[in-house]
Structure 1
Protein backbone atom coordinates (compact mmCIF):
# COMPACT_ATOMS: atom_id res chain seq x y z
CA UNK A 1 0.00 0.00 0.00
CA UNK A 2 1.36 3.32 -1.03
CA UNK A 3 0.98 6.43 1.03
CA UNK A 4 0.20 9.81 -0.46
CA UNK A 5 2.89 12.37 0.22
CA UNK A 6 1.63 15.94 0.57
CA UNK A 7 4.14 18.74 0.77
CA UNK A 8 2.68 21.32 3.19
CA UNK A 9 5.20 23.93 2.03
CA UNK A 10 3.56 24.13 -1.41
CA UNK A 11 0.30 25.34 0.09
CA UNK A 12 2.15 27.88 2.21
CA UNK A 13 4.07 29.18 -0.82
CA UNK A 14 0.86 29.65 -2.79
CA UNK A 15 -0.73 31.46 0.16
CA UNK A 16 2.34 33.68 0.54
CA UNK A 17 2.32 34.53 -3.18
CA UNK A 18 -1.38 35.43 -3.05
CA UNK A 19 -0.84 37.54 0.09
CA UNK A 20 2.01 39.45 -1.59
CA UNK A 21 -0.15 40.19 -4.62
CA UNK A 22 -3.03 41.36 -2.43
CA UNK A 23 -0.61 43.56 -0.48
CA UNK A 24 0.57 45.15 -3.72
CA UNK A 25 -3.03 45.74 -4.80
CA UNK A 26 -3.73 47.39 -1.41
CA UNK A 27 -0.65 49.60 -1.82
CA UNK A 28 -1.82 50.76 -5.25
CA UNK A 29 -5.35 51.43 -3.96
CA UNK A 30 -3.96 53.39 -0.98
CA UNK A 31 -1.82 55.49 -3.32
CA UNK A 32 -4.81 56.16 -5.58
CA UNK A 33 -6.90 57.31 -2.60
CA UNK A 34 -4.09 59.50 -1.26
CA UNK A 35 -3.82 61.26 -4.63
CA UNK A 36 -7.52 61.65 -5.40
CA UNK A 37 -7.22 65.46 -5.15
CA UNK A 38 -3.80 65.75 -6.81
CA UNK A 39 -4.10 67.75 -10.05
CA UNK A 40 -3.16 65.70 -13.09
CA UNK A 41 -3.04 62.41 -11.18
CA UNK A 42 -4.44 59.36 -12.91
CA UNK A 43 -5.05 56.17 -11.03
CA UNK A 44 -2.45 53.42 -10.98
CA UNK A 45 -3.75 50.06 -12.03
CA UNK A 46 -2.56 46.51 -11.55
CA UNK A 47 -3.98 43.60 -13.41
CA UNK A 48 -4.08 40.16 -11.90
CA UNK A 49 -5.20 37.06 -13.64
CA UNK A 50 -5.74 33.63 -12.29
CA UNK A 51 -3.81 31.14 -14.36
CA UNK A 52 -4.21 27.41 -14.35
CA UNK A 53 -0.73 26.00 -14.42
CA UNK A 54 -0.34 22.49 -15.69
CA UNK A 55 1.38 19.99 -13.53
CA UNK A 56 2.37 16.43 -14.22
CA UNK A 57 -0.55 14.25 -13.31
CA UNK A 58 -4.30 14.56 -13.62
CA UNK A 59 -4.65 17.49 -11.22
CA UNK A 60 -3.83 21.07 -12.03
CA UNK A 61 -2.36 23.59 -9.63
CA UNK A 62 -3.93 27.02 -9.28
CA UNK A 63 -1.57 29.95 -8.98
CA UNK A 64 -1.82 33.71 -9.22
CA UNK A 65 0.22 35.44 -11.85
CA UNK A 66 0.72 39.17 -11.91
CA UNK A 67 0.71 40.92 -15.25
CA UNK A 68 2.90 43.93 -15.86
CA UNK A 69 1.61 47.19 -14.33
CA UNK A 70 0.92 49.82 -16.95
CA UNK A 71 0.74 53.58 -17.28
CA UNK A 72 -2.79 54.88 -17.69
CA UNK A 73 -2.53 56.98 -20.86
CA UNK A 74 -6.20 57.94 -21.02
CA UNK A 75 -7.05 61.65 -20.91
CA UNK A 76 -7.79 62.64 -17.33
CA UNK A 77 -10.69 64.82 -16.26
CA UNK A 78 -9.99 68.50 -16.89
CA UNK A 79 -11.05 70.86 -14.13
CA UNK A 80 -11.37 74.60 -14.72
CA UNK A 81 -9.89 76.23 -11.60
CA UNK A 82 -10.08 79.97 -12.43
CA UNK A 83 -6.36 80.16 -11.56
CA UNK A 84 -4.46 81.89 -14.39
CA UNK A 85 -1.39 79.76 -13.65
CA UNK A 86 -3.10 76.38 -14.08
CA UNK A 87 -2.66 74.66 -17.44
CA UNK A 88 -3.66 71.32 -18.92
CA UNK A 89 -2.45 69.27 -21.85
CA UNK A 90 -5.29 67.92 -23.94
CA UNK A 91 -4.14 64.69 -25.54
CA UNK A 92 -0.66 63.25 -25.27
CA UNK A 93 2.35 64.94 -23.74
CA UNK A 94 4.11 65.98 -20.56
CA UNK A 95 5.33 69.36 -19.34
CA UNK A 96 9.12 69.44 -19.05
CA UNK A 97 10.48 70.69 -15.70
CA UNK A 98 13.96 71.20 -14.25
CA UNK A 99 14.74 69.39 -10.99
CA UNK A 100 17.98 69.31 -8.98
CA UNK A 101 18.53 65.83 -10.45
CA UNK A 102 17.87 66.82 -14.06
CA UNK A 103 14.87 66.99 -16.36
CA UNK A 104 11.55 65.51 -15.22
CA UNK A 105 8.11 65.31 -16.79
CA UNK A 106 4.64 65.96 -15.40
CA UNK A 107 1.06 66.18 -16.60
CA UNK A 108 0.04 68.23 -13.55
CA UNK A 109 -0.28 71.85 -14.63
CA UNK A 110 -1.07 73.48 -11.29
CA UNK A 111 1.82 75.93 -11.49
CA UNK A 112 2.68 78.94 -9.33
CA UNK A 113 5.15 81.83 -9.47
CA UNK A 114 8.14 81.68 -7.13
CA UNK A 115 10.06 84.59 -5.57
CA UNK A 116 12.28 84.76 -8.66
CA UNK A 117 9.13 85.15 -10.81
CA UNK A 118 9.62 81.75 -12.43
CA UNK A 119 6.69 79.53 -13.38
CA UNK A 120 7.16 76.49 -11.12
CA UNK A 121 5.49 73.27 -9.99
CA UNK A 122 4.13 73.08 -6.42
CA UNK A 123 7.45 71.43 -5.51
CA UNK A 124 9.33 74.50 -6.81
CA UNK A 125 10.67 72.94 -10.03
CA UNK A 126 10.89 75.48 -12.88
CA UNK A 127 8.68 74.79 -15.89
CA UNK A 128 10.68 74.82 -19.11
CA UNK A 129 9.66 77.03 -22.02
CA UNK A 130 11.90 76.99 -25.09
CA UNK A 131 14.37 74.90 -23.06
CA UNK A 132 14.79 77.35 -20.18
CA UNK A 133 12.83 78.24 -17.03
CA UNK A 134 10.08 80.74 -17.80
CA UNK A 135 10.50 84.02 -15.93
CA UNK A 136 7.19 85.88 -15.87
CA UNK A 137 7.60 89.63 -15.55
CA UNK A 138 4.22 91.24 -16.14
CA UNK A 139 5.87 94.59 -15.49
CA UNK A 140 7.48 94.30 -18.93
CA UNK A 141 4.04 94.08 -20.52
CA UNK A 142 2.07 96.50 -18.28
CA UNK A 143 4.40 98.51 -16.05
CA UNK A 144 3.60 99.56 -12.49
CA UNK A 145 2.56 97.40 -9.54
CA UNK A 146 2.20 93.67 -10.13
CA UNK A 147 -0.84 91.81 -8.81
CA UNK A 148 -2.08 88.24 -9.32
CA UNK A 149 -4.36 89.64 -12.04
CA UNK A 150 -1.20 90.59 -13.94
CA UNK A 151 -0.22 86.95 -14.20
CA UNK A 152 -3.00 86.20 -16.68
CA UNK A 153 -0.96 84.09 -19.05
CA UNK A 154 -2.63 83.13 -22.29
CA UNK A 155 -1.68 79.94 -24.09
CA UNK A 156 -2.41 79.11 -27.71
CA UNK A 157 -3.46 75.61 -28.82
CA UNK A 158 0.13 74.94 -29.88
CA UNK A 159 1.54 75.90 -26.45
CA UNK A 160 2.73 79.48 -27.04
CA UNK A 161 2.50 81.57 -23.84
CA UNK A 162 1.88 85.31 -23.86
CA UNK A 163 0.82 88.22 -21.64
CA UNK A 164 -1.23 90.94 -23.35
CA UNK A 165 0.00 89.79 -26.74
CA UNK A 166 3.68 89.75 -25.71
CA UNK A 167 4.97 86.28 -26.56
CA UNK A 168 6.98 84.62 -23.78
CA UNK A 169 7.78 81.30 -25.44
CA UNK A 170 6.37 77.83 -26.00
CA UNK A 171 5.85 75.15 -23.34
CA UNK A 172 8.31 72.28 -23.75
CA UNK A 173 5.79 69.46 -24.19
CA UNK A 174 7.28 66.01 -24.69
CA UNK A 175 5.67 62.81 -25.90
CA UNK A 176 7.11 59.33 -25.54
CA UNK A 177 6.62 56.56 -28.08
CA UNK A 178 7.33 53.68 -25.69
CA UNK A 179 4.83 54.51 -22.93
Structure 2
Protein backbone atom coordinates (compact mmCIF):
# COMPACT_ATOMS: atom_id res chain seq x y z
CA UNK A 1 0.00 0.00 0.00
CA UNK A 2 1.58 3.25 -1.12
CA UNK A 3 1.06 6.40 0.97
CA UNK A 4 -1.04 8.33 -1.56
CA UNK A 5 -1.36 11.55 0.45
CA UNK A 6 2.38 11.68 1.05
CA UNK A 7 3.03 11.08 -2.65
CA UNK A 8 0.60 13.84 -3.61
CA UNK A 9 2.13 16.35 -1.18
CA UNK A 10 5.71 15.74 -2.29
CA UNK A 11 4.69 15.54 -5.93
CA UNK A 12 3.14 19.01 -5.60
CA UNK A 13 6.23 20.30 -3.77
CA UNK A 14 8.51 19.00 -6.54
CA UNK A 15 6.31 20.45 -9.29
CA UNK A 16 6.15 23.82 -7.52
CA UNK A 17 9.91 23.92 -6.91
CA UNK A 18 10.55 23.03 -10.55
CA UNK A 19 8.22 25.77 -11.73
CA UNK A 20 9.89 28.38 -9.51
CA UNK A 21 13.34 27.19 -10.63
CA UNK A 22 12.37 27.63 -14.28
CA UNK A 23 10.96 31.11 -13.63
CA UNK A 24 14.07 32.14 -11.65
CA UNK A 25 16.42 30.82 -14.30
CA UNK A 26 14.54 32.51 -17.13
CA UNK A 27 14.45 35.76 -15.14
CA UNK A 28 18.16 35.55 -14.48
CA UNK A 29 18.97 34.90 -18.15
CA UNK A 30 16.63 37.68 -19.30
CA UNK A 31 18.01 40.22 -16.84
CA UNK A 32 21.67 39.32 -17.37
CA UNK A 33 21.85 38.89 -21.14
CA UNK A 34 19.06 41.09 -22.44
CA UNK A 35 18.85 43.95 -19.93
CA UNK A 36 22.53 43.64 -18.86
CA UNK A 37 21.53 43.76 -15.18
CA UNK A 38 22.85 41.16 -12.74
CA UNK A 39 20.53 39.89 -10.01
CA UNK A 40 22.67 37.73 -7.70
CA UNK A 41 19.88 36.63 -5.37
CA UNK A 42 18.22 34.56 -8.11
CA UNK A 43 21.20 32.22 -8.21
CA UNK A 44 21.19 31.68 -4.44
CA UNK A 45 17.44 31.14 -4.29
CA UNK A 46 17.68 28.71 -7.21
CA UNK A 47 20.40 26.79 -5.36
CA UNK A 48 18.22 26.55 -2.24
CA UNK A 49 15.19 25.47 -4.25
CA UNK A 50 17.28 22.88 -6.07
CA UNK A 51 18.16 21.31 -2.71
CA UNK A 52 14.49 21.27 -1.73
CA UNK A 53 13.64 19.69 -5.08
CA UNK A 54 16.28 16.98 -4.67
CA UNK A 55 15.35 15.93 -1.13
CA UNK A 56 11.62 16.14 -1.83
CA UNK A 57 12.27 13.97 -4.85
CA UNK A 58 14.06 11.41 -2.67
CA UNK A 59 10.94 11.17 -0.50
CA UNK A 60 8.79 10.82 -3.60
CA UNK A 61 11.02 8.09 -5.04
CA UNK A 62 10.99 6.10 -1.81
CA UNK A 63 7.24 6.52 -1.38
CA UNK A 64 6.67 5.14 -4.88
CA UNK A 65 9.60 2.69 -4.62
CA UNK A 66 10.92 3.98 -7.96
CA UNK A 67 14.61 4.48 -7.22
CA UNK A 68 17.10 3.07 -9.69
CA UNK A 69 18.02 -0.46 -8.72
CA UNK A 70 19.14 -3.70 -10.24
CA UNK A 71 17.00 -6.53 -8.92
CA UNK A 72 17.84 -9.30 -11.37
CA UNK A 73 19.87 -11.32 -8.85
CA UNK A 74 17.51 -10.60 -5.94
CA UNK A 75 14.54 -11.86 -7.94
CA UNK A 76 16.37 -15.13 -8.67
CA UNK A 77 16.90 -15.82 -4.97
CA UNK A 78 14.35 -17.66 -2.85
CA UNK A 79 11.70 -15.32 -1.45
CA UNK A 80 12.93 -15.64 2.15
CA UNK A 81 16.50 -14.75 1.19
CA UNK A 82 15.20 -11.88 -0.95
CA UNK A 83 13.18 -10.68 2.03
CA UNK A 84 16.17 -10.79 4.41
CA UNK A 85 18.47 -8.99 1.96
CA UNK A 86 15.84 -6.34 1.30
CA UNK A 87 15.36 -5.87 5.05
CA UNK A 88 19.11 -5.34 5.40
CA UNK A 89 19.10 -2.85 2.53
CA UNK A 90 16.20 -0.92 4.11
CA UNK A 91 17.87 -0.91 7.53
CA UNK A 92 21.12 0.35 5.98
CA UNK A 93 19.14 3.03 4.15
CA UNK A 94 17.48 4.09 7.41
CA UNK A 95 20.88 4.30 9.10
CA UNK A 96 22.10 6.49 6.22
CA UNK A 97 19.03 8.74 6.56
CA UNK A 98 19.57 8.96 10.31
CA UNK A 99 23.20 9.92 9.70
CA UNK A 100 22.08 12.61 7.29
CA UNK A 101 19.65 13.98 9.89
CA UNK A 102 22.39 13.97 12.53
CA UNK A 103 24.90 15.68 10.24
CA UNK A 104 22.36 18.23 9.03
CA UNK A 105 21.42 19.04 12.63
CA UNK A 106 25.08 19.71 13.44
CA UNK A 107 25.42 21.86 10.32
CA UNK A 108 22.31 23.89 11.19
CA UNK A 109 23.75 24.61 14.64
CA UNK A 110 27.14 25.64 13.26
CA UNK A 111 25.87 27.70 10.32
CA UNK A 112 22.84 29.42 11.83
CA UNK A 113 24.64 32.74 12.31
CA UNK A 114 26.03 32.76 8.76
CA UNK A 115 23.83 34.51 6.23
CA UNK A 116 23.66 34.20 2.47
CA UNK A 117 25.70 36.71 0.49
CA UNK A 118 22.93 38.31 -1.53
CA UNK A 119 20.16 37.65 1.02
CA UNK A 120 21.56 38.86 4.35
CA UNK A 121 18.25 38.26 6.11
CA UNK A 122 18.34 34.49 5.34
CA UNK A 123 20.54 32.04 7.23
CA UNK A 124 22.59 29.53 5.27
CA UNK A 125 21.28 26.89 7.69
CA UNK A 126 18.13 26.75 5.55
CA UNK A 127 20.11 24.54 3.18
CA UNK A 128 20.31 21.83 5.84
CA UNK A 129 16.82 22.20 7.30
CA UNK A 130 15.31 20.57 4.21
CA UNK A 131 17.34 17.41 4.99
CA UNK A 132 16.04 17.37 8.57
CA UNK A 133 12.47 17.73 7.28
CA UNK A 134 12.61 15.22 4.40
CA UNK A 135 14.69 12.34 5.76
CA UNK A 136 12.13 11.26 8.42
CA UNK A 137 9.62 10.85 5.58
CA UNK A 138 12.13 8.65 3.74
CA UNK A 139 12.53 6.54 6.89
CA UNK A 140 8.73 6.32 7.15
CA UNK A 141 8.54 5.09 3.55
CA UNK A 142 11.27 2.51 4.17
CA UNK A 143 9.39 1.22 7.22
CA UNK A 144 6.18 1.01 5.17
CA UNK A 145 8.03 -0.95 2.52
CA UNK A 146 9.12 -3.43 5.16
CA UNK A 147 5.58 -3.67 6.56
CA UNK A 148 4.06 -4.23 3.12
CA UNK A 149 6.88 -6.38 1.78
CA UNK A 150 4.64 -8.49 -0.45
CA UNK A 151 3.40 -5.48 -2.42
CA UNK A 152 6.78 -3.81 -2.76
CA UNK A 153 9.20 -6.65 -3.37
CA UNK A 154 7.56 -10.02 -3.83
CA UNK A 155 5.35 -9.12 -6.79
CA UNK A 156 5.92 -11.33 -9.78
CA UNK A 157 8.29 -9.73 -12.25
CA UNK A 158 6.65 -8.19 -15.29
CA UNK A 159 9.32 -9.87 -17.40
CA UNK A 160 9.42 -13.65 -17.33
CA UNK A 161 13.07 -14.44 -17.98
CA UNK A 162 12.79 -18.21 -17.56
CA UNK A 163 12.16 -18.86 -21.25
CA UNK A 164 14.92 -16.73 -22.75
CA UNK A 165 16.82 -19.69 -24.22
CA UNK A 166 13.72 -21.52 -25.51
CA UNK A 167 13.12 -19.02 -28.34
CA UNK A 168 16.62 -19.57 -29.70
CA UNK A 169 16.21 -23.36 -29.73
CA UNK A 170 12.92 -23.24 -31.65
How high is the TM-score relative to the length of structure 2? Answer: 0.27
More relative contact order, 1 or 2 (CA 8 Å, 6+ apart): 2
Q: From the two aligned structures, give the one with the greater strand fraction.
A: 1
Kindly name which structure, 1 or 2, has the bigger radius of gyration based on alpha carbons.
1
How high is the TM-score relative to the length of structure 1? Answer: 0.26
